[in-house]
Structure 1
Amino acid sequence: MLQSLKDSQIMDNEIKELMTPHEKVAHVQLNNPLDHALLVLIKSGYTTIPVLDTEYKVRGQISKAQILDSILGIERIEMERLHDYKVEDVMNGKVPRMNKNETFGKALMLSINHPFVCIEDDDGSFIGLMTRRSILALIHRHLSHSS
């Protein structure tokens, strides 16, 4: 079964067709306060979202866990500290990314350890993302048709 993936054209497909466009992606900016980031995360239902700068370049990612860790006191969660921090103070600067013209094979590899891969255009601007779910759905469709 895995051999059929390798032998097929699926690994060479460009990822643009599986990408969720930036207009539909929940994200925050570097200078947003943490309370805003937590609100976006909760309302979107995601555990991790991309962090962008003012020029729409990917700068990192932020998660609910990172935010909660930053306000965890010795005896309680100090919710009042949410507004004291900005996203850039807490975010993870390492984020999986790839160019819009790269292939599905790279997206598959990057998705092993990440829930999403940020997609950038040739000048490095964020144009969308590819979720692990969309990657697995394509593989499932391919395997269902090849058996």
Structure 2
Amino acid sequence: MISLQSGELFDTTIKDLLIPADKVAHVQLGNNLEHALLVLTKTGYTAVPVLDPHFTLHGLISSTHILDSILGLERIEFERLETMKVEEVMNTNIPRLNLNDQVMTGLNLVIDHPFVCVENDEAVFEGIFTRRAVLKQLDRRIKNK
């Protein structure tokens, strides 16, 4: 367990609190919006990473992005879910962390985001750093005092 004594929690790296990529729901660039909406609905997540076949991180897709893209002037155009691709509506302007970044760097980002995607030096998606992971460590430390 990581403790707060001598700032130990804050001296660790992101990889110590990482949820690994194989445990994170994601979609691929070429998936249609229907597939992405199904993934979001089934997992209950508000957003998931968008990857290519080589696991390179390209952005995030959320239910809000999807719904905004199918709203017409007079109705919701559900038929567009089948034809539009994730890459057309995803957010590419996202915060990112590197595996070797310090937890304090991540902490500053999860203030405004529930999770931040983590990649290695080759931009390969390694997992996510979550606000929940930081809060769990803080909670454990407080309860152990």
Look up the equivalent residue of 2:114 and give its one-letter code: P
Kindly state the Cα deviation for residue 91 of structure 1 after the two structures are TM-superposed.
0.5
- Rounded to whole Å, the distance in 2 between the matches of 1:94 and 1:138 is 29
User: Gaps spanning 5+ residues in structure 1: where?
Assistant: none
Kindly state the Cα deviation for residue 142 of structure 1 after the two structures are TM-superposed.
2.4
Q: Specify the alignment match of 2:94 in structure 1.
A: 95
2:20 maps to 1:21: yes
Superposition RMSD on alpha carbons, in Å? 1.8
2:36 maps to 1:33: no
- Rounded to whole Å, the distance in 2 between the matches of 1:108 and 1:144 is 21
- Rounded to whole Å, the distance in 2 between the matches of 1:40 and 1:131 is 19
- Rounded to whole Å, the distance in 1 between the matches of 2:127 and 2:62 is 18
Look up the equivalent residue of 2:103 and give its one-letter code: F
Q: Specify the alignment match of 2:81 in structure 1.
A: 82
Secondary structure, in 3 states, of the residue corresponding to 1:65?
Answer: helix
Q: Specify the alignment match of 2:55 in structure 1.
A: 56
Runs of 4+ in 1 over 6 A off after TM superposition: none
Secondary structure, in 3 states, of the residue corresponding to 2:123?
Answer: coil
User: Gaps spanning 5+ residues in structure 2: where?
Assistant: none
- Rounded to whole Å, the distance in 2 between the matches of 1:115 and 1:59 is 18
Question: How many percent of aligned residue pairs carry the same amino acid?
Answer: 51
Kindly state the Cα deviation for residue 107 of structure 1 after the two structures are TM-superposed.
1.0
